[in-house]
A and B are shown apart, each in its own frame.
Chain A
Amino acid sequence: MLLIMAWRNLWRNRRRTLLTVAAISLGLAVLITMVSFTEGFIDMFVDQLARSSMGHIQLHHPEYRERQSTQLVIPSASKVLEAIESTPGVKAASPRLMFSGSIRSSLSSTVRVVRVLAVDPERERHFSALPEKLVAGGFVVPPPEALEPDAPERFRQRKGILLGAKLARQLKVGIGSRVRLDCAGFQGATVALAFVVTGIIQTDTDAFDSQMVMVALKDFQEATGADDTVHEISVMVHDSRAIAPVVDDIRQRIAAQGLDSTEVLAWYDVSPEIAQMFAMVDSWNGLLYLLMLTILSAGILTTLFMVVFERQREFGVQLALGARGRSLFAGIMCEALLIGLLAMAIGLVVGGLCVAYLTVWGLDLSFIVDGFEFNGMFIENVYRGSASLKVFVEPTVVVLAGILLFALWPAVRVARMKALAAIRCENV
């Protein structure tokens, strides 16, 4: 009976109820869309982060990040890699050696200081977005002459190198050009290595395009005497929102192999400034919720207090007939709940459509801001929304809880009414 009365009471003033429901639905839809947008932005950012060189998780020698010394390596890299790749939740892993060095073309005197990234091409191809940025050649591949079955031994010994487009221009080299790379080996002596340019990459990130060269890990380990060691292993997980348990799992697995001297960190521990930026985005969401709740409070309180004032005499009669204050309280709360459920249904449909648009087509903000470079990553100008459960559940729960919370005020007011004063309309 309580629900029947509440439902029928709602439609006594159809226009007011529809306006209230429309306002709340619209607010909910906007909230869902905005949360989808910000969550999508974070997801995109984390994805870009992971697909740059960072990954979701990084493994180093415990002192490597602070001292950046080439001597500080992860030993038994293949065993560590095996342990990582058998960890549930891990999508891909890429081991790397990183050196500083200088590069020059065999035909030019121009020398450039570079950062050498030695990668496992096959693993890196499944890991990062860099292979998509190739503008010429292949991704860390040997020169074609080295692959000829009947090639002379000196040809088969040739190694391929991938250069950033800007660096290639500065060195005036192209595919097939020969370059010399000098860098410090593990024993302290400088190692001079000859490479054939087999790939050119353009990321639109200046730091990469002008300073980075990539070579095959195996070639570099042999040439520098690094053996089975690497400086870094980057790990990508399937669910970027559930990194912590994977980090713990990897730590345990590595410790079980007696390699617990390796540091295992999530990206937000490696780059706390980016994590802080995301925290700010979350604060923005909090602000949105607060704004929504403020608008909501005005709508729901106005509607329910109008109900209280208009039906005061009725409440008085109900009390005179023997109704308890709590049953009137429940009646008002039921009306608020029904308004909330109606608004929730409409808001979810409208918000769902907006999220679908954001997820499928994205929002092209190129008319406001072009894609930009951040921390070595290129952030695109088409923003896609997230359609995760959180996007729908969190705003809906907040709005519904807000409605019920604000409804408490008029409901308590009704529950405290005195029968005679209410019949005489003296309560207001």
Chain B
Amino acid sequence: MSEPIVTVREVTRVFKMGDIEVQALRGIDLDIQPGEFTAVAGPSGSGKTTLFNLIGGLDEPTSGTISVGGRRLGGLSRKELSRLRLEKIGFVFQAYNLIPVLTAGENVEYPLILRGEPGPVRRKKVQELLDAVGLSEMTHRRPMQMSGGQQQRVAIARALVCEPVIVLADEPTANLDSETGAALLKLMRRLNREKGLTFLFSTHDPMVMNAASRLVRLKDGRIDSDVRQDNGGPP
């Protein structure tokens, strides 16, 4: 078995809300292998988003360790975490979160600019990614001129453009109708199979759970079940 892309060891996360302490995660152990198409499911408040934020380096665990792409996140500076997110992690948000003043092409190009890639390289990659998500005709459209599904496709292209080791997709279909959600899931599954990309979803959408090759269920901040599914594939 190859080295896991993500390693989570005995991770806890406690939030303080005034005098009250809320235990969002209570000792999580999780390994994500390269090429996995994993869904983390669970009811609201089960700790899915907290776990995602920790793996994405957006938040720090109260205890435990997390490694992404072989690097332990604990102790990394703000600058190092930014670099790690830029180079190793792709984010897809529930609300798309495209930059509204940039066109679809510019949104995809944005992480490459942050990485300091030269113009011709950027343009080539942007075109490739927009082709891959079926939006080559939408390069010059602004987010508000696109549908929710199209915006989420742009967000996926943006997440993939820096060739990350893992794509973290936080409830990517939650704001989409079922047909559009299914199409999007199909697209991500195809990218997973064809390019060997590793996806980690947080979801409570049964369609996403069924499509996943591995389903991790969280309950009250703990892993309730971790099941590999042979039927992994979009509906």
Contacts and interface: CB of A to CB of B under 8 A. Distances in A.
Describe B's contact surface by its main secondary structure: helix
Contacts of B162: 322
Contact of B110 (A12, A319, A321, A420): A321
A322 B114 contact: yes
B101 A12 contact: yes
A309 to B, nearest CB: 16
User: What range describes how many residues of A lie at the interface?
Assistant: 20 to 34
Contact of A321 (B59, B86, B106): B86
A291 to B, nearest CB: 35
B100 interface: yes
A323 B101 contact: no
A325 B93 contact: no
Interface string A292-317: 00000000000000000000011001
Interface stretch (A1-9, A53-61, A90-98): A1-9
B85 A320 contact: yes
Nearest to A10: B101
Contact of B58 (A9, A324, A327, A420): A420
A321 B115 CA distance: 11
B24 to A, nearest CB: 13
Given A1-B106, A12-B101, A313-B97, A320 B83 contact: no
Q: Which of B56, B97, B102 has the most CB of A within 10 A?
A: B97
A323 B97 contact: no
B202 to A, nearest CB: 14
Q: Which of B58, B78, B87 has the most CB of A within 10 A?
A: B58
Nearest to B59: A420
Contact of A314 (B86, B100, B106, B113): B100
A320 B102 contact: no
B111 A321 contact: yes
Contacts of A419: 58
A318 interface: yes
B99 A314 contact: yes
Contacts of A324: 79, 82, 114
Q: Which of A5, A319, A419 has the most CB of B within 10 A?
A: A419
Given A5-B99, A8-B101, A9-B101, A320 B91 contact: yes
B158 interface: yes
A8 B107 CA distance: 14
Contacts of B87: 322
A420 B13 CA distance: 15
Contacts of A322: 82-83, 85-87, 111, 114-115, 162
A1 B59 contact: no
B210 interface: no
A5 B101 contact: yes
Contacts of B101: 5, 8-9, 12
A322 B102 CA distance: 17
B100 A317 contact: no
B82 A1 contact: no
Nearest to B58: A420
A318 B99 contact: yes
B106 A320 contact: no
Interface in B137-162: 158, 162
18 contacts: A1-B109, A5-B101, A8-B102, A313-B97, A317-B99, A319-B82, A320-B56, A320-B58, A320-B85, A321-B86, A322-B82, A322-B83, A322-B86, A323-B114, A324-B82, A327-B114, A419-B58, A423-B97
Given A321-B114, A321-B158, A322-B111, 11 more contacts: A1-B106, A1-B109, A5-B102, A12-B101, A317-B91, A322-B86, A322-B87, A322-B115, A324-B114, A325-B78, A423-B58
Interface of A: 1, 4-5, 8-9, 12, 313-314, 317-325, 327, 419-420, 423
Across the A-B interface, give the 5 residue pairs with the lowest CB-CB distance, nearest first. Answer: A322-B86, A8-B101, A420-B58, A317-B97, A322-B85
